[in-house]
Chain A
Amino acid sequence: MLASLSRGQRKALQGYLYTSPWTVGLVVFVIGPMVASLYLSFTSYSITSQPRFVGIQNYIYMLTGDELFWGSVLKTLYFAGGVVLVGLTGSLACALLLNTGLRGSAFYRTAFFIPSLTPIVALALIWAWVLQPRYGVVNGALAELGMAGPGWLTDPAWAIPGLLLMNLWGTIGGSRMVIFLAGLQGVPQELYDAAHVDGASGWQRFWAVTLPMLSPTIFFNLVLGIIGGLKVFAAAYVTTDGGPAYATWFYLIHLFTQAFRFLEMGYASALAWFFFAVVLALTLIQFGISRRWVYYEGER
């Protein structure tokens, strides 16, 4: 029977076959709960009572009535911007540094990676110590330089930078860097050799060989970096809990608080689906743009 199919049809069939676990999983485990939460976003549902259909009221309240909504959007963008700009370049820089055949790279790779292994529950304690305004390590170092350090995490103006510092420490050498490293391993040595023979300088080789060959990994890390940055939650949850005075009231903190503290699950679902629509659109736009700058060796 297979023989009667054209080559393209056979390929398509194989495509369905290989992706079938995902398709099945999607139908069995994912779609149901997603549809349920979409429905709940049109209800008033306090978890402990039955959901009551209210139309688009939640969405209207979100965009026009919720005093904390737009503030949380701005704070989240601020944080995500920092993560993407500093985090992405930092991870790439670390990966490149570790890829230069440094003596003791195995040690350095592990050393850079260790912060990302710190359990979240321990994170709060460690950073309470590092960022302690009067006696902390960071402010201690600043004092040595003759600067008065701010009240990280306790001063509204410095709480987000404090969380950024915490996040960057934990992620720069983490999965992003390792993915870059793995991507760098995929750049064939021959290309460097050829470029070398052609007399390209290190900087030129980076621009002409490394970056294009690394672009699929960069793209992955960019997409995931943006999503991850916008989904900032855990760090704020265990340290500032949205405070002081709403200074770290990020989008997901708002959502979680509405859902499981204020028990407004209907409204929280609306928040989630708004987030979903906007961020998915943003991501798909990135996929569109990526055609212009991401170089896939295996695509034609």
Chain B
Amino acid sequence: MSTASAARSIGVRTSIVRRRPPLLRHLLAGLRAVAALVLAAAFLAPFAWSVLSSLKAGHEIFTFPPSWLPEVARWGNYPAVWRQVPFGRFAANTTIVTAVAVLGEVVSSTLVAYGFARFRFPGRGVLFTAVVATLVLPGEITLIPRFIMFKALGWLDTFLPLTVPFYFGSAFFIFLMRQFFLSLPIELDEAAELDGANGFQTLTSVLVPLMKPALATVAIFSFLSHWNEFLNPLIFLRSTEKFTLALGLRFFQQAAETGGEPREPYLMAASLMVTLPCIVLFFSAQRYFVRGVVMSGMKY
């Protein structure tokens, strides 16, 4: 498809020619920079507070007037977290579950979304409605039936309920990938077909390379959702040795009746340690979803 026709099809009017004076452009750029800075500060301030709080002693968290800085930086809070709960064990479990689930979820959701976006078949509408429907029903309500099901399968206290169901695609990602597929021109497929590629080849060699930003997005979200998943491990796991980080974090929530010193700083330290891999991952993966490769694909 030619770019000219695309421009026409979306109706860019060509009559008005207006160029911004350079001064205004600089001003706008400056405004944008300031806006970004202000927003970043607003987004990061609570985060900064949690970092500082993780270094405090328990009684310092809620002092009034509030203090940002700890009296002394207690770096020992971090190793203390590892002593108080089997943090390494939780991290290992979470890594395994996340890796296995993400692989299945991304691959299967991509395949299914491809099927929905590129092929016509009777029942497609109904099946896709089912995708959306599963997003709508509150999950708590199927918890007990699901528990009974996994018990019958003998899957309780294993990682299977946390991973296997995602090998059948998940609604959120199927829907998202479908949207991305639908924004790629169908001509790509047709050309591939003319070149003798079958459907799977078209997917892997033509469409997927064009969808790296979308795939990176899906992979990251999938990672985050499994890394932070709370309800499923809570209900389906039994032994502490199999717990995940999200569950372990709850161990640090203050419950006065369980005794001991205030645990807020440990909660903060633990939650930062849980978050850190996500931040690193996001930071390093973002180049994939910002440098689009769509251009090269459009050039035939």
Contacts and interface: CB of A to CB of B under 8 A. Distances in A.
A22 B127 contact: yes
A57 interface: no
B80 interface: no
B121 A15 contact: yes
Nearest to A286: B132
Interface string A91-135: 000100110101101111111111101111110011111101011
B135 A175 contact: no
A242 interface: no
A19 interface: yes
A12 B122 contact: yes
A200 B183 contact: no
A49 B185 CA distance: 56
A280 B136 contact: yes
Contacts of A30: 130, 134
A89 interface: no
23 contacts: A19-B115, A26-B130, A29-B149, A30-B130, A33-B145, A97-B35, A114-B43, A117-B275, A119-B274, A121-B252, A121-B271, A125-B267, A129-B46, A181-B213, A185-B289, A185-B292, A190-B298, A191-B6, A199-B17, A204-B12, A208-B13, A213-B10, A265-B144
Interface of B: 3-4, 6-7, 10-20, 32-33, 35-36, 39-40, 42-47, 49-50, 53, 61-62, 64-66, 108, 111-112, 114-122, 124, 127, 129-138, 140-142, 144-146, 149, 165, 167-169, 172, 174-176, 179-186, 199, 213-214, 216-217, 220-221, 224, 228, 230, 246, 249-250, 252-253, 264, 267-268, 271, 274-275, 278-279, 282-283, 286-287, 289-292, 294-295, 298
Given A19-B112, A21-B168, A23-B127, 17 more contacts: A14-B119, A15-B118, A26-B134, A32-B149, A33-B142, A113-B282, A117-B275, A122-B271, A135-B66, A190-B6, A194-B6, A213-B183, A227-B135, A269-B141, A275-B138, A276-B137, A299-B182
